[in-house]
């Protein structure tokens, strides 16, 4: 299986592959860079709290240079999944608090277990959705490790081969 294609800046920063100037220019022309306008607007279907979270995440991703205008829907999906997950956690906590007393009937115990199971399944499903969306955006630790571009080491200035001889001549 082929490896995923890496951006030319990453290849150059690693310094492991020697490319000609023409190959580098071709790669720069064929790579798609995200278009990041000054203001990324949240979609209309988000609530006020979700819009606030959207803007916070979009600002961080835009500062890294990995968020484009076409990615706003992906951020909105993540914010929505995160919000629904938080609601599911609250629902699960409320279901746990409604535990019937030990002397209650079998039917009441069965209904409690069923409600708890349903809340846990919902929470698990929403967690997986939020986790998947976070991974796609680079919001998890492992995803961030994959997108970090190593800083290119500054190259030492080329040494003049004749400088030694010139110094000896001038000194001598």
Instruction: Find the length of the chain.
Output: 172
Residue 166 has pLDDT above 70, yes or no: yes
Residue 110 has pLDDT above 80, yes or no: yes
Owner of token pair 């995200």: 34
**Residue 41 near residue 70, CB atoms below 8 Å:** no
**Residue 1 near residue 138, CB atoms below 8 Å:** no
- On average, the pLDDT of the chain sits at 80
**Residue 34 near residue 74, CB atoms below 8 Å:** no
* Angstrom distance (rounded) from CA 68 to CA 40: 8
Tokens at 169, concatenated: 């001549």
Q: Where are the domains of the chain?
A: 37-151
pLDDT digits (tens, 9 = 90+) for 25-57: 777 677 655 555 566 788 899 999 999 999 998
* Angstrom distance (rounded) from CA 67 to CA 90: 31
């Amino acid at each position: 299986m082929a490896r995923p294609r890496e951006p030319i800046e990453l290849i150059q920063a690693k310094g492991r592959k020697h490319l000609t100037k023409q190959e580098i220019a071709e790669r720069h022309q064929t790579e798609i860079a995200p278009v990041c306008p000054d203001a990324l607007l949240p979609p209309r279907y988000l609530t006020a709290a979700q819009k606030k979270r959207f803007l916070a995440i979009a600002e961080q991703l835009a500062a890294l240079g990995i968020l484009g205008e076409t990615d706003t829907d992906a951020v909105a999906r993540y914010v929505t999944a995160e919000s629904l997950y938080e609601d599911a956690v609250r629902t699960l906590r409320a279901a746990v608090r409604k535990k019937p007393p030990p002397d209650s009937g079998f039917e009441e115990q069965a209904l409690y277990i069923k409600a708890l199971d349903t809340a846990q399944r919902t929470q698990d499903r929403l967690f997986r959705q939020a986790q998947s969306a976070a991974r796609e955006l680079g919001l998890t630790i492992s995803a961030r490790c994959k997108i970090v571009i190593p800083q290119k080491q500054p190259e030492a200035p080329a040494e003049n081969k004749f400088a030694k001889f010139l110094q000896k001549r001038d000194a001598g």
